[in-house]
Amino acid sequence: MGILDGKVAIVTGAGHGVGRGEAVELADQGARVVVNDLGGAVSGGGGDKRVADEVVDVIKQRGGEAVANYDDVSDFNGAKNIVNTAIETFGKLDVLVNNAGILRDKMIFSMAEEDFDAVIRVHLKGTWNTVHHASVYWRNESKEGRQPRASVVNTVSSAGLQGQASQSNYGAAKAGIAALTIIASLELSRYGVRVNAIGPGGFTRMVGQAMKDIEVKEPEEYTEFNNMNPGNSAPGVAWLASDDSIPVTGQVLRLVGNNLALYRPWELGEQFFAKDKEGNPQRWDPVDIGQTLHKFVFNTVNPGIARIQR
């Protein structure tokens, strides 16, 4: 018995690393899983059906149920076929985990337009594509009186939420996915759909491109706990996919190694108001803006401040 018994789940980009760990964990927890992976290179391009097939075999060897899908998430109709694979094979869809992605790191002054477009297309558009098609299905189910208890789990990264040099494309995509997560949670809650995100970590093929001396292993190949196992985030995905996470939605978790945290969204800091000598509201003067921020926010200078009310 697992916390996902009876659920049907899709995991995109499930051929290696983080996505593979998630697919195996969801199956271990009782879900029937659509293992989606194009089987391409880390930078995009190419394809190999054996990648998804291998994960299906791993799941079946562990006593689970799974089927492979080889569609490209960045293709609108391909994403629709991923969703249809779950419905046609297992009769329904309860969980969508968006993990598929590619990496093309370069400093912004060296990055080609195609490098930017390709990463945005797979990560951000690919996530939107699958959420769109899944939401159409769940909305129709709700209207037919079969209110879903469904969950979407998107994948974000510190590169987007905290910043990382050389990843303007990847970081922008991941920050966009965080925003998409919050917006979709607002739109889909009435139809019984929760939308959250998780920021994973570990030694993946993507990390291996930047750190050539690391050993990249698949999650199930680790025989004991290792902080850099890319499968460490999978239990968080399983919980977000389960009914135990009702009514958590619009949230972004970070789960790296044994460290679990909640990302706080953009929020306003201390507020300041421009007023005239009589205390009436007035339009800000650029000089006053600079003086206020330098003194009270950035602590870079300490001039006398006139007509400023905190």
Q: State the catalytic residue, choosing from 74, 135, 151, 157.
A: 157
166 annotated active-site: no
Q: How far apart are CA 178 and CA 221, in angstroms?
A: 30
245 annotated active-site: no
Q: State the catalytic residue, choosing from 174, 185, 233, 242.
A: 174
Q: State the catalytic residue, choosing from 151, 170, 185, 242.
A: 170
Calculate the alpha carbon distances from 62 to 7, 34, 242, 254 in Å: 17, 16, 20, 27
H, E, C per residue of the chain: CCCCCCCEEEEECCCCHHHHHHHHHHHHCCCEEEEECCCCCCCCCCCCHHHHHHHHHHHHHCCCEEEEECCCCCCHHHHHHHHHHHHHHHCCCCEEEECCCCCCCECCCCCCHHHHHHHHHHHHHHHHHHHHHHHHHHHHHHHCCCCCCEEEEEECCHHHHCCCCCEHHHHHHHHHHHHHHHHHHHHHHHHCEEEEEEECCCCCHHHHHHCCCCCCCCHHHCCCCCCCCHHHHHHHHHHHHCHHHCCCCCCEEEEECCEEEEECCCCCCCCCEEECCCCCECCCCHHHHHHHHHHHHCCCCCCCCCCEEC
7 annotated active-site: no
Catalytic residues: 157, 170, 174
